[in-house]
Amino acid sequence: MAEAPAHDYPTIEPTSFDVVICGTGLPESVLAAACAAAGKTVLHVDPNPFYGSLYSSVPLPSFLSPDPSSVPLSPSGDDSHTVVDLHRRNIYSEAVDLLLRSGGSHHVEFKSVEGRSLLYWEGQLYPVPDSRQAIFLDAATLKLTEKTVLFRFFELVRAHIAAADEDVEGEEASDKISEEDLDLPFVEYLKKQQLPPKMRAVVLYAIAMADYDQDTDCCEKLLTTREGIQTIALYSSSIGRFANAQRAFIYPMYGHGELTQAFCRCAAVKGALYVLRMPISALLMDEERKNCLGARLTSGQDILCQQLILDPSYKVPILDAPSDGSDSNLLRKVARGICIISKSVKQDSSNLLIVFPPKSLEEQQIAAIRGLQLSSNLAVCPPGMFMVYLSTPCADTSTGKQCIKKAIDALFAPQASDSLEGHLKETSENNEDLKPTVIWSCVYVQEITEGTSSSLLSCPTPDEHLDYRSILDSSKKLFTDICPNEEFLPKKSAAVYADDDSDSAE
Amino acid sequence: MHGRPRRPAKPEDEEAASAKAAKLRDLQAQVLHNHHARTYTKEAIGLSFKLLEINPEAYTAWNYRKLAFQHNVKELSDPEAIKSAVDDELRVVEVALRQNPKSYGAWYHRKWLLSQKLAPMDFKREFGLLDKLLKVDARNFHGWNYRRFLARFMGVPDEDELKYTMDKISDNFSNYSAWHNRSILLSNLLIQQNKGFESKQKIFSEEFELVTQALFTDPSDQSGWFYHLWLLAQTSSPDNPQLIASWPSSAAKLTSSLIKEKDEQHTLSSIWSRAVPIVLYFNEPVKGLNQSSVNLKSDLEFDKDIQWRPLTMADSGYSNCWATYLQITNECSSLQEYSVEVSLPCSDDIVSRSGSNYSCPVHFTFNIELISNNTAQGLDLFDKPVAWNCSESFPSHGNRDPIPFDLLKITSALVEQDTNWHFERLSEEIDLFRELPDDNSNFGKLTLARLLLACAAIKSRGRSLTERKGYCEEALGLFTDLIHLDPSHKQYYEDERSLVLMDKLTCDMETFMKHCSVQVQPNSAPLNHVQLCRLSLTRIGFAERLLWVQKLDLSRNSLRSVEGLEALQHLAFLNISNNQISSFTALEPLTKIISLKVLDLSFNKIGAHSIDTTRYICSSPFSHKIESSEAFEEYQKVNINVEEYWDAILFFRSLKLAQLDIKGNAVASKENFRTLVMTLIHCLKWFDGEDVN
């Protein structure tokens, strides 16, 4: 599959669509599936020879080259044993729901992050007790009194969620947490429930997935109890949705690129037209240069459309102009690190999540760092090795990178070549105590841009969160702009499609 | 299935239910007909299947199938055919269990089939099915029963089964069945001393740790607390039964006056008669006391046919308290002292409920002084009824006759060696539960109280009095809290509190002496008197410390039961006025006290409720005994309303009272009641303060 020469560009029939989407990142793909399901005619193009755009998973050599898209895919090459996600995250909650609703789950296989999450606390990694049984079974690291308060808190939340689900209006359920408490900062509520600091960190950063330090007043993002409990509800409702993925977090086999493809396939089944290796060379605007009428493809063909949706990597001057002044100071960044390591961070578990609460590594650490370890059973790296993706939101590039590096130092031993050769005996003696060795690592910082909606829609870039919630939210918002009266991926769309497993995407 | 809310039935459900009922009735009639006609054709058996498919509880249908199966399988010789017949039958059980996984009949049928051993069983499949069932409902105790059955049948090692219980507990620790099976398996393994199970202390320490994890995770879940209770019981009580008290106690000196046989009827028998009771009190119920397991040696002449009787209301044959009466046949006229030796060697005869045998040999001696005294000391010489005046000042007992109390120091040395571990273990648990953050956990408080009492019990053997009292005080506080926190179990907590209170009052000489005295009655030997009034006691405890009491005043408490008093084979005067006794059945223990002469029951609740609820609380109320029916007939002849007074009849006919006070009870105001009592107790002299004659 060498790069196709320019004159090979196919001609697209028809030349007019309801929606033209450029880029096959997750929000674009979800939108494509949603629009197609809503009965719109969709043309979905991507300049790359692969699916996923910023959300794709690429083989390691492609990742290492300065521009992933310039490296041809080598489908049968040995290097494809290692797949690098350009960003990484777990899936839970609504993404799972959406997949089930759209029937996308037929196309992806999931594995759960089966080892429990680990919390980095006072220089050590502790398992995160996230259920009644987990609390019971953890005799080694949890104190007895911690067990009682933590479980009592879980019960409180469970009762609240159950009462909220039943939603008996007027009947004031005593199980519910009072409105007053719901408006409290979550951290204050946890203190009120007598959770000791370590348990607060568990709930805040490993379960409710707060990013920024919740213990300071000047914090930008202080979670309220309401928000915290929503996340916990999501967490608990995500458990055991897929047959071979029992825990709250799941991860798709063969990398995250698979996820966008699953949605693309759903769109294709609903009649969307897909063309890869097809960049857009120009926008067709109306005379006042206000509304976009269509796009000119690299092939030279003009496609007319009512709605054009662009990948965030496209910089369109007229789009950037209005948002310039007000949003620039809110520009968010996320520092990411990718490591390939020699053995699992925790024995006997392959795929797991590691959480460093704020200030756990150093005083300056303002946000939680999260790491996801994936193993070869997800077909992302060779057997015996593990990939760890780390990320943290940051204000500037250098502190972000420093945080990630600190985390890497805390988790792994530096690559020491002589220990492999000279002191082999020594290392094999107390192998269990040794930290995993880093085989390869890289650290980079990515900017986050939000999706914009006008006549020309632009999708958001991957953000700092662990899951896809906010990305799916913005996709949903974009969808309502396009189709104000349609349901976003209605449930029935899955049933129609259930038996058709043929791959008609390309 | 657990935790499913009950929903009100809809009208269409009712219609379906009545249709189902009609079909069931029809099927049932046909199956019964076939059963009576012994029709074992294919069609007939098919009908029974149809019935069981809808209603797996139809026992007769299961029995019919058993008969049919036996009948039909006899005609088969081909092992393949037999196997398929067994398989068919097994499938029927599976269908029935799908309808109701808790059908006794279906489970029993399966066990029965397997026990027939007609065809080789696919045990892998049995365990597979069982796994599936326990996955759906991990607490289904039928499933667990069947698992125990299979394991025994196949000889699965207990270690494997123990591991299985751990797996299930790891899945969800809220599993009574798994914890229960664990306790059974561990007991077996410890008794058999399997490899890795040699040290009870090590195993129990681990088990305590495990169950504590569950208790602290969810203090409101009861399953773990029950397991903890079992562990506590195993830790706090000695492995083998022990003798903790006796009457007469070691080195005691008794005087017994001989009364001529023929006089006995006229003198109402005296407090000291020719028959000397010997009472042995154990720390836990035992059985198997007889002439060979208890040796009596004496220079006295007595009837060698010694019968040991359990003093208990239950029919189980086990009892804490055993008694026998030495029938002295000496015809001596002069003052003389005789010694009696009692020894209990290690014995396989004497066993506790858990099956451990008596292994703490005890030997003690007491002396009997026989007084030839023809002037009877009977109560008939009293010219007025015995008074129970509380404010009456007691004659000081001085040193004249030390109360034979706490003289049986036989067990302390024997328990000592183990006590350290037990005590440390319990203290650790106490420290833990004091930290339980859930302040309102009833089980937490109750367990803490039990732990404290277990410690107190151990301390009693070690004789550290102040520590022991500290434990008691704290436990008392906890029970008082619990009475308020958990009013639905108020009576239980009150009973437990009463026991602690009794323990506190009687555990040391100094405190106890405040309640003891020796009373001198005119014309009678001095009486050992104990007064425990106005203490809000609801039940009796630590009767082993009261074996020597002759006059007992328990008035103005809240006694609902007098169980425990049966051990007081010396008791002649009992005052339980102003208590909460609600029926004669609650007084059954008193019928075991042969020496009882004066009884004050006034101002209780006897007869206040037409329905006698103690019948369900008492371990074995009168009503369970058949031997009484003859007596009833007899009383019917003299015009006594047996239906109304059956319990009064059974109570009074076994007493030989000289004085009875029963005023202030609803029953006493009933017509004919006085006449009834007169008829039942011939020897009664005083009734409610009046001379009967």
Preferred mutation among B216, B428, B433 to probe A, highest tally of A CBs within 10 A: B216
pLDDT tens digit string along A356-374? 888 888 877 878 888 888 7
A269 and A215 part of one domain? no
Q: How far apart are CA B126 and CA B124, in angstroms?
A: 5
If phi over 0 gives left and psi between -120 and 50 gives alpha, with beta otherwise, what is residue B551?
Answer: beta
Q: How many domains does chain A have?
A: 2
Please tell me the predicted confidence (pLDDT) of residue B523: 58
Contact assessment for residue B542 and residue B563, using Cβ atoms and an 8 Å cutoff: no
Q: How far apart are CA B187 and CA A364, in angstroms?
A: 57
Q: Which residue of A has its CA nearest to B437?
A: A145
State phi, psi for A350 to the nearest 5 degrees.
Answer: -100, -50
| pLDDT above 90 for A441 | no
Sheet of B690-691, strand order? B516-519, B527-531, B551-553, B573-575, B598-600, B659-661, B686-687, B690-691
Q: How far apart are CA B142 and CA B111, in angstroms?
A: 11
Q: Do B173 and A136 touch (CB under 8 A)?
A: yes
Please check whether residue A293 touches B, CB under 8 A: no
| pLDDT above 60 for B174 | yes
Please tell me the predicted confidence (pLDDT) of residue A454: 59
Q: How far apart are CA A394 and CA B108, in angstroms?
A: 68
Predicted structure pTM score: 0.75
Q: Stretch A121-127: mean pLDDT, rounded?
A: 83
Helix, strand, coil % (nearest 5) of chain B?
50, 15, 40
| pLDDT above 70 for A153 | yes
What CATH number did the domain enclosing A217 receive? 1.10.405.10
A136 and A219 part of one domain? yes
Q: In chain A, which among 101-140 make CB contacts under 8 A with chain B?
A: 132-133, 135-137, 139
Higher pLDDT, B322 or A464: B322
pLDDT tens digit string along A377-420? 776 777 778 888 888 888 778 888 888 888 888 888 776 554 44
Contact assessment for residue A353 and residue A372, using Cβ atoms and an 8 Å cutoff: yes
A154 and A181 part of one domain? yes
| Within a domain: A419 | no
Q: In chain A, which among 465-504 make CB contacts under 8 A with chain B?
A: none
Helices (H), B75-192: 79-99, 104-116, 123-136, 141-154, 158-171, 176-192
| Within a domain: A425 | no
Please tell me the predicted confidence (pLDDT) of residue B528: 81
Q: Do A148 and B171 touch (CB under 8 A)?
A: no
| Within a domain: A440 | no
Residue B400 DSSP one-character state: T
Q: In chain A, which among 256-275 make CB contacts under 8 A with chain B?
A: none
Please tell me the predicted confidence (pLDDT) of residue B392: 46
Facing residue for B216 by CB, picked from A137, A148, A155 = A148
Residues of chain A with C-beta less than 8 angstroms from the C-beta of B435: 144-145
Highest mean pLDDT: which range of B4-13, B317-326, B519-528, B624-633: B317-326
A233 and A278 part of one domain? no
Question: Which residue type does B436 have?
Answer: L
Residue B369 DSSP one-character state: E
Preferred mutation among B209, B217, B433 to probe A, highest tally of A CBs within 10 A: B217
Residue A54 domain boundaries: 16-58+253-317+450-482
A229 and A273 part of one domain? no
A302 and A233 part of one domain? no
A230 and A262 part of one domain? no
If phi over 0 gives left and psi between -120 and 50 gives alpha, with beta otherwise, what is residue B152?
Answer: alpha
- Complex ipTM over 0.90: no
pLDDT bucket at B368, cuts 50 / 70 / 90: confident
Least confident window among A418-432, B86-100, B373-387, B414-428: A418-432
Cis peptide upstream of residue A10 (ω within 30 degrees of 0): no
| pLDDT above 70 for B270 | no
| pLDDT above 80 for B669 | yes
Residue A203 DSSP one-character state: I
What CATH number did the domain enclosing A309 receive? 3.50.50.60
| pLDDT above 70 for A69 | no
Please check whether residue B216 touches A, CB under 8 A: yes
Q: Which residue of B has its CA nearest to A152?
A: B218
Helix H or strand E encompassing B646: helix B642-652
Average pLDDT, chain B: 82
Highest mean pLDDT: which range of A101-105, B493-497, B643-647: B493-497
A149 and A232 part of one domain? yes
Please check whether residue A145 touches B, CB under 8 A: yes
Higher pLDDT, A23 or B484: B484
Contact assessment for residue A49 and residue A72, using Cβ atoms and an 8 Å cutoff: yes
A202 and A279 part of one domain? no
Least confident window among A92-96, A306-310, B274-278, B556-560: A92-96
Q: Stretch A173-200: mean pLDDT, rounded?
A: 82
A180 and A263 part of one domain? no
Q: How far is A133 from chain B (nearest CA, A)?
A: 6
Per-residue three-class SS string for B248-307: CCCCCEEEEEECCHHHHHHHCCCCCCCEEEEEEEEEEEEECCCCCCCEEEECCCECCCCC
Contact assessment for residue B337 and residue B369, using Cβ atoms and an 8 Å cutoff: yes
| Within a domain: A487 | no
Higher pLDDT, A175 or A478: A478
Question: Which residue type does A313 have?
Answer: S
Q: Stretch B22-41: mean pLDDT, rounded?
A: 92
Residues of chain A with C-beta less than 8 angstroms from the C-beta of B208: none
Q: Stretch B478-501: mean pLDDT, rounded?
A: 93
Q: Given A191, A214, A238, which residue is the final one in a domain?
A: A238
Q: Do A136 and B213 touch (CB under 8 A)?
A: yes
Q: Which residue of B has its CA nearest to A132?
A: B217
Q: Each residue of B457-493: b (16+ CB within 10 Å) or e?
A: bbbbbeeeeeebbebbebbbebbebbbebbeeeeeeb
Instruction: Report the relative pairing of strands B527-531 and B551-553 from DSSP bridges.
Output: parallel
Preferred mutation among A138, A142, A144 to probe B, highest tally of B CBs within 10 A: A144
Facing residue for A148 by CB, picked from B209, B210, B219 = B219
Average pLDDT, chain A: 71
Q: Stretch A252-276: mean pLDDT, rounded?
A: 78
| Within a domain: A461 | yes
Question: Which residue type does B516 have?
Answer: C
| Within a domain: A108 | no
Q: Stretch B304-315: mean pLDDT, rounded?
A: 85
A185 and A143 part of one domain? yes
Least confident window among A359-363, A374-378, B410-414, B627-631: B410-414
A198 and A288 part of one domain? no
Q: How far is A155 from chain B (nearest CA, A)?
A: 9
Q: How far is A149 from chain B (nearest CA, A)?
A: 7
Q: Do A148 and B173 touch (CB under 8 A)?
A: no
Least confident window among A263-277, B253-267, B269-283: B253-267
Please tell me the predicted confidence (pLDDT) of residue B258: 56
Q: How far apart are CA B206 and CA B199, in angstroms?
A: 11
Please tell me the predicted confidence (pLDDT) of residue A200: 87
Q: Given A190, A207, A238, which residue is the final one in a domain?
A: A238
Q: Which residue of B has its CA nearest to A147?
A: B217
Q: For chain A, how far is it from start to end, CA to CA, in angstroms?
A: 14
Contact assessment for residue B576 and residue B604, using Cβ atoms and an 8 Å cutoff: yes
Q: Stretch B484-491: mean pLDDT, rounded?
A: 91
Please check whether residue B170 touches A, CB under 8 A: yes
Least confident window among A257-261, A362-366, A415-419, B509-513: A415-419
Q: How far apart are CA A307 and CA B217, in angstroms?
A: 55
Least confident window among A78-92, A480-494, B104-118, B600-614: A78-92
Q: Which residue of B has its CA nearest to A137?
A: B170
- Torsion from C-alpha of A22, A25, A31, A37, nearest 10 degrees: 100
Least confident window among A10-19, B380-389, B524-533, B650-659: B380-389
Please check whether residue B435 touches A, CB under 8 A: yes
Please tell me the predicted confidence (pLDDT) of residue A405: 87
| pLDDT above 80 for A501 | no
| Within a domain: A37 | yes
| Within a domain: A155 | yes
